[in-house]
């Protein structure tokens, strides 16, 4: 008999309890994987936008925490273009619209100038890109087109106004795949924000961090009232992303602690019930550390089962989320391998923590006392 056989038999001997503990743990682990995975993808997806378009810096109104709440004059773009180190600059206006018939509560709308650098990194799947002089034309991201069941040349209502879909595009970013793009001037008029942008993106002549830092200082000194931030910092500092991350981590952590408490409860019960058995093990010469390893091993077997089930639950949960059209545009159902590894390590680590105290108690049992235990 192997030592692991003994461990496994002890776990299997209480099938209901072991299964329930593993299940509790698996739900906790699935929650961590799904929540952290989503916020991780959220951030990655944001970064992908900037990377694929060659955007090095984002300009917003000083004091704004994100693009949606920022406001800048579009005229500023020409001044920016003249600053040394700026290769190109493009204004963007961002808003959200609802498509109630399709149950889509908040779809991102981007207002872009037709020949803007923002069109880099998106591929037309059908139709054509925006052209100068386009008026009632929209581009749909791939996922949004699917959700709205629209294709190139279809008529479409946006915020009660009539448009025509001129093309469907695909982007590396989920956000853009779930968004629609309008000519900047058209969106400005719809929002009553003529001449304004929520942000201006800049592609610099070099992406070197030191260079970007000096460019940032040049921009901020030449154009008062704006904040220039390197794209990566901008994404990482974005309050929404930070909030999403903090919330997913907190929720995940709470779930994990509950899982560990479940493990603690199960293992404590199991060693109390087996007090006499543990006394016997000690009486036949088992060292304290072998008893410790036995109980920890049992916790580990349950944790491993819980982690595996948790992984499956997470995958299923992600797919279930994708059934919701609102989520479909924003959520990347692929679970990053890093998040998977992290959840695995956390699950096993916390379960071991939950198993450590019972194991230490079992190992500390005095054989005579344990043998008298009824």
Partner 1 sequence: MSDGNGAPILRAEGLVKYYPDGNVQALRGVSLEVRDGEFVAITGPSGCGKSTLLHLLGGLDRPDSGEVWFRGASMARLDLDAFHARRIGFVFQSFYLLPTLTAAENVQIPMFEGPWPRPERARRASDLLAEVGLSHRAGQRPTRLSVGERQRVAIARALANEPELLLADEPTGNLDSASQEEILRLLGQLRDRRRITLVIVTHSEEVARAADRRIAIKDGRILATE
Rounded to a whole number of angstroms, the minimum distance from the CB of residue 348 to partner 1 is 24
3-state secondary structure of 278: helix
Question: Which of 15, 4, 55 lies closest to 212, judged by CA?
Answer: 55
Return phi, psi of residue 38, to 5°.
Answer: -65, -45
Interaction between residue 290 and partner 1 (CB under 8 A): yes
Q: Give the one residue of 44, 51, 61, 276 binding partner 1; rule: CB under 8 A.
A: 276
Interaction between residue 272 and partner 1 (CB under 8 A): no
Interacting residues of 125 by C-beta distance below 8 A, sequence separation 6+: 142, 167, 168, 169, 170
Q: Give the one residue of 81, 287, 320, 334 binding partner 1; rule: CB under 8 A.
A: 287
Q: Give the one residue of 87, 288, 320, 364 binding partner 1; rule: CB under 8 A.
A: 288
Return phi, psi of residue 182, to 5°.
Answer: -120, 155
Interaction between residue 296 and partner 1 (CB under 8 A): no
Distance CA 242, CA 128 (A): 36
Taking residues 314 to 353 in sequence order and writing x for each that binds partner 1 by CB under 8 A, - otherwise, the string is: ----------------------------------------
Rounded to a whole number of angstroms, the minimum distance from the CB of residue 278 to partner 1 is 10
Q: Tell me the C-alpha to C-alpha distance, in Å, between residue 29 and each of 298, 302, 303, 331, 332.
A: 18, 13, 10, 19, 18
User: In this chain, which stretch among 137-145, 212-220, 276-284, 332-340 interacts with partner 1, using CB under 8 A?
Assistant: 276-284
Rounded to a whole number of angstroms, the minimum distance from the CB of residue 342 to partner 1 is 34
Question: Residue 295 is inside which H or E element, if any?
Answer: helix 288-321
Question: Which of 149, 30, 67, 102 lies closest to 326, judged by CA?
Answer: 102
Q: Which is nearer to partner 1, 34 or 281 (CB)?
A: 281
Rounded to a whole number of angstroms, the minimum distance from the CB of residue 23 to partner 1 is 22
Question: Which of 249, 278, 348, 320 lies closest to 42, judged by CA?
Answer: 249
Rounded to a whole number of angstroms, the minimum distance from the CB of residue 106 to partner 1 is 56
User: In this chain, which stretch among 132-140, 262-270, 308-316, 362-370 interacts with partner 1, using CB under 8 A?
Assistant: 362-370
Q: Give the one residue of 152, 258, 280, 327 binding partner 1; rule: CB under 8 A.
A: 280
Q: Give the one residue of 16, 210, 284, 337 binding partner 1; rule: CB under 8 A.
A: 284
Residues 91-130 that bind partner 1 (CB under 8 A): none
Task: Classify residue 125 by burial, with Cβ atoms within 10 Å: 0-12, 13-18, 19+.
Answer: middle
Question: Which of 278, 306, 303 lies closest to 292, judged by CA?
Answer: 278
Q: Which is nearer to partner 1, 217 or 287 (CB)?
A: 287
Rounded to a whole number of angstroms, the minimum distance from the CB of residue 362 to partner 1 is 14
Interaction between residue 368 and partner 1 (CB under 8 A): yes
Interaction between residue 245 and partner 1 (CB under 8 A): no
3-state secondary structure of 165: strand
Task: Decide if 264 contacts 354 (C-beta within 8 A).
Answer: yes
Distance CA 87, CA 166 (A): 29
Q: Give the one residue of 286, 315, 342, 373 binding partner 1; rule: CB under 8 A.
A: 286
Taking residues 6 to 25 in sequence order and writing x for each that binds partner 1 by CB under 8 A, - otherwise, the string is: x--xx-xx------------
Nearest 5°: the CA angle 67, 72, 74 is 115
Distance CA 13, CA 18 (A): 9
User: Which residues contact partner 1 (rule: CB under 8 A)?
Assistant: 1-3, 5-6, 9-10, 12-13, 276-277, 280-288, 290, 366-368, 371
């Amino acid at each position: 008999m192997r030592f692991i056989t003994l461990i496994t038999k002890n776990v299997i001997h209480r099938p209901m309890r072991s299964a329930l503990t593993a299940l509790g743990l698996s739900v906790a682990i699935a929650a961590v994987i799904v929540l952290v995975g989503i916020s991780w993808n959220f951030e990655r997806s944001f970064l992908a936008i900037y990377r694929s378009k060659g955007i090095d810096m984002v300009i917003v109104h000083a004091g704004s925490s994100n693009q949606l709440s920022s406001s800048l004059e579009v005229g500023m773009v020409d001044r920016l273009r003249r600053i040394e180190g700026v290769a190109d600059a493009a204004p963007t206006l961002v808003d959200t619209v609802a498509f109630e018939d399709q149950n889509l509560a908040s779809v991102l709308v981007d207002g872009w100038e037709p020949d803007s650098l923002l069109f880099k990194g998106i591929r037309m799947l059908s139709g054509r890109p925006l052209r100068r002089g386009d008026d009632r034309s929209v581009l749909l991201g791939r996922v949004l087109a699917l959700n709205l069941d629209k294709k190139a040349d279809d008529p479409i209502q946006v915020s009660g106004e009539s448009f025509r879909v001129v093309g469907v595009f695909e982007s590396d970013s989920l956000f853009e795949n779930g968004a629609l793009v309008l000519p900047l001037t058209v969106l400005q008029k719809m929002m009553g924000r003529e001449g304004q942008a929520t942000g201006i993106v800049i592609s610099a002549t070099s992406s070197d961090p030191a260079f970007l830092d000096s460019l940032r200082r040049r921009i901020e000194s030449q154009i008062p009232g704006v904040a220039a931030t390197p794209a990566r910092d901008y994404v990482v500092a974005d309050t929404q992303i930070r909030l999403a991350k903090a919330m997913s981590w907190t929720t995940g952590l709470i779930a994990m602690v509950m899982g560990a408490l479940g493990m603690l409860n199960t293992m404590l019960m199991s060693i109390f019930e087996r007090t006499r058995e543990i006394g016997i093990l000690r009486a036949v010469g088992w060292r304290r550390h072998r008893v410790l390893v036995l109980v920890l091993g049992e916790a580990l077997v349950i944790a491993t089962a819980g982690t595996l089930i948790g992984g499956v639950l997470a995958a299923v949960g992600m797919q279930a989320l994708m059934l919701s059209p609102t989520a479909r545009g924003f959520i990347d159902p692929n679970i990053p391998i890093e998040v998977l590894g992290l959840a695995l390590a956390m699950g096993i680590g916390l379960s071991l923590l939950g198993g450590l105290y019972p194991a230490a108690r079992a190992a500390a049992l005095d054989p005579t006392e344990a043998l008298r235990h009824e």
